[in-house]
Amino acid sequence: MAFIALSDLVYLVCLISLQFTAAKPDGCGIRANTQTRIVGGEISYPGKWPWMAAFYRSNSNQYCAGALISDRHVLTAAHCVAAIQPSKLQIRLGEFDLSGRLPVPLPENNNNSARALLEENSAFQNNIYNVEKITVHQQYEPRSHLHDIAIVRLNRPVEFSTVIQRICLPPPSLPSLEDRTAFVAGWGTTAFLGSTSSSLREVEVPIWNNQACLEAIGKNVFDTTLCAGGRIKSADACQGDSGGPLMMPMVDDRWAAIGVVSWGIRCGEPTKPGLYTRTSHYTDWILSTVQQRT
Residue 6: pLDDT over 60: no
Residue 37: pLDDT over 70: no
DSSP secondary structure letters along 16-36 = -SSS-----SSSSS--S----
Q: Which residue has the higher pLDDT, 61 or 275?
A: 275
Residue 44 binned pLDDT confidence (cut-offs 50, 70, 90): low
Mean pLDDT of 34-51: 63
Residue 61 binned pLDDT confidence (cut-offs 50, 70, 90): confident
Residue 103 binned pLDDT confidence (cut-offs 50, 70, 90): very low
Q: What DSSP character marks residue 76?
A: E
Express each pLDDT in 227-270 by its tens digit: 998 655 444 445 557 899 999 998 788 999 999 999 886 555 66
Residue 146, strand partner residues:
141
Same CATH topology for 47-166+282-290 and 181-280? yes
201-206: strand order across its sheet? 42-43, 201-206, 181-186, 245-249, 255-263, 274-278, 225-228
148 has catalytic annotation: yes
User: Taking a C-beta distance cutoff of 8 angstroms, is the pair 187, 39 a contact?
Assistant: no
**Mean pLDDT (the chain, rounded):** 78
What span, in angstroms and rounded, lies between the C-alpha atoms of 210 and 259? 14
Q: What is the pLDDT of residue 8?
A: 39
- Dihedral (CA of 202, 260, 51, 195) sign: negative
Mean pLDDT of 56-70: 89
71 has catalytic annotation: no
What span, in angstroms and rounded, lies between the C-alpha atoms of 1 and 72? 10
Residue 217: pLDDT over 70: yes
With vertex at residue 238, the alpha carbon angle to CA 174 and CA 76, rounded to the nearest 5 degrees, is 50
281 has catalytic annotation: no
181-280: CATH topology is Thrombin, subunit H (2.40.10)
User: Taking a C-beta distance cutoff of 8 angstroms, is the pair 58, 69 a contact?
Assistant: no
Q: What is the pLDDT of residue 240?
A: 55
Residue 62, strand partner residues:
56
Give burial (CB, 10 Å; 0-12/13-18/19+) of 212: middle
What span, in angstroms and rounded, lies between the C-alpha atoms of 36 and 218? 34
Q: What is the pLDDT of residue 102?
A: 45
Q: Which one from 73, 113, 137, 148 is the annotated catalytic residue?
A: 148
Q: What is the pLDDT of residue 165?
A: 95
Q: Which one from 197, 242, 262, 280 is the annotated catalytic residue?
A: 242
Report residue 291 CA to chain centroid gap: 20
47-166+282-290: CATH topology is Thrombin, subunit H (2.40.10)
Express each pLDDT in 178-200 by its tens digit: 989 999 998 865 444 444 556 78
Going from N- to C-terminal start, the domains of the chain cover: 47-166+282-290, 181-280
Rg (CA), the chain: 17
Express each pLDDT in 127-157 by its tens digit: 899 999 999 999 999 999 999 999 999 999 9
Residue 1: pLDDT over 50: no
- Which residues, including other chains, have CB under 8 Å from residue 59's CB and lie 6 or more apart? none
